[in-house]
C-alpha cells in the first residue's frame, strides 16, 4: 500500500522548519539549536507516552536530533518537518520497546495495582479529586501502553500532539483510512480498559 502524497503547500511554522533544515545542512549550529528548542518538548512528551515512562525519553529525543543533524544535507522538504521528526522517533521508540520486551520488567498490570503507593494522601490535600485525577491519568497511560505499537503511536500523535490524519499516515507508512481504522480500534480498546472510570 502506497503512503499518501502530501500537499506541497505548507504553513508558516513548517516553512520556518524547512528553512532551519537548509541552514543545518550547511552546518549552522545556531539553526540546529533553534530547531531543537522548537520541538524538543513535544518530542520528549510523545516518546514518554509511547514508552510509558520518562526515564529514557530525553536520551531517545537526543538520538533523534543527532540523526537529524547527521542527515540534514539529505533532508527533502516533501512533507511537514514534524512528519520527518516523528518518523525517526517512531523507529527509535520501536527499537527501544523491543529491547525492553526482551528484558524482565515489572508488568503494566503490577504497576496499575501498585500505583496508589505513588500518591500518598496529605493532610492539606483534597484527597478525592486529586487522587481520582491521578488514578485516571495512570489508568489512561497504562491502557495506552497495552495497545499495539501502531495504534499507540497513532493515539499519542492524534490525542496529545493533534497531528493530522494525513501526517500520521506518512509517519506510519500507511493510508489515511488505515489510520482512522487504527484509531477506531484503539479507542474501542481504551474504552473497554477504562470502562469503570467512564461509568463513574
pLDDT of residue 128: 58
Question: Over the stretch 7-22, which tens digit does the pLDDT of each residue have?
Answer: 457 889 999 999 999 9
pLDDT of residue 142: 87
Q: What predicted TM-score, i.e. pTM, was given to this entire model?
A: 0.75
Q: Which CATH number fits domain 7-105: 3.40.50.2000, 3.30.465.10, 1.10.1740.10, 3.40.50.12280?
A: 1.10.1740.10
pLDDT of residue 151: 95
Mean of pLDDT over the chain: 83
Question: Over the stretch 29-83, which tens digit does the pLDDT of each residue have?
Answer: 999 999 999 999 999 999 999 987 777 899 999 999 999 999 999 999 989 999 9
Q: What is the 3-state secondary structure (H, E, C) of the chain?
A: CCCCCCCCCCCHHHHHHHHHHHHHHCCCHHHHHHHHHHHHHHHHHHHHHHHCCCCCHHHHHHHHHHHHHHCHHHCCCCCCHHHHHHHHHHHHHHHHHHHHHCCCCCCHHHHHHHHHHHCCCCCCCCHHHHHHHHHHHHHHHHHHHCCCHHHHHHHHHHHCCCCCHHHHHHHCCCCHHHHHHHHHHHHHHHHHHCHHHHHC
Q: Within 10 A of 65 (CB to CB), how many other CB atoms are there?
A: 18
pLDDT of residue 19: 97
Amino acid at each position: 500500500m502506497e503512503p499518501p502524497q502530501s500537499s506541497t503547500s505548507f504553513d508558516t511554522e513548517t516553512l520556518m522548519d524547512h528553512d532551519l533544515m537548509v541552514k543545518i545542512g550547511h552546518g549552522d549550529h545556531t539553526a540546529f539549536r533553534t530547531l531543537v528548542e522548537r520541538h524538543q518538548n513535544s518530542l520528549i512528551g510523545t516518546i514518554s507516552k509511547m514508552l510509558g515512562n520518562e526515564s529514557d525519553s530525553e536520551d531517545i529525543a537526543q538520538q533523534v536530533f543527532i540523526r537529524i543533524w547527521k542527515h540534514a544535507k539529505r533532508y527533502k522538504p516533501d512533507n511537514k518537518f514534524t512528519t520527518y521528526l516523528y518518523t525517526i522517533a517512531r523507529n527509535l521508540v520501536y527499537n527501544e520497546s523491543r529491547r525492553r520486551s526482551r528484558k524482565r520488567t515489572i508488568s503494566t498490570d503490577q504497576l496499575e495495582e501498585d500505583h496508589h503507593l505513588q500518591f500518598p494522601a496529605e493532610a492539606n490535600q483534597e484527597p478525592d479529586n486529586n487522587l481520582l485525577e491521578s488514578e485516571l491519568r495512570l489508568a489512561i497511560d497504562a491502557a495506552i501502553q497495552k495497545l499495539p505499537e501502531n495504534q499507540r503511536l497513532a493515539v499519542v500523535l492524534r490525542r496529545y500532539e493533534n497531528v493530522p490524519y494525513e501526517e500520521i499516515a506518512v509517519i506510519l507508512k500507511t493510508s489515511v483510512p488505515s489510520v482512522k481504522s487504527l484509531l477506531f480500534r484503539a479507542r474501542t480498546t481504551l474504552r473497554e480498559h477504562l470502562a469503570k472510570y467512564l461509568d463513574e
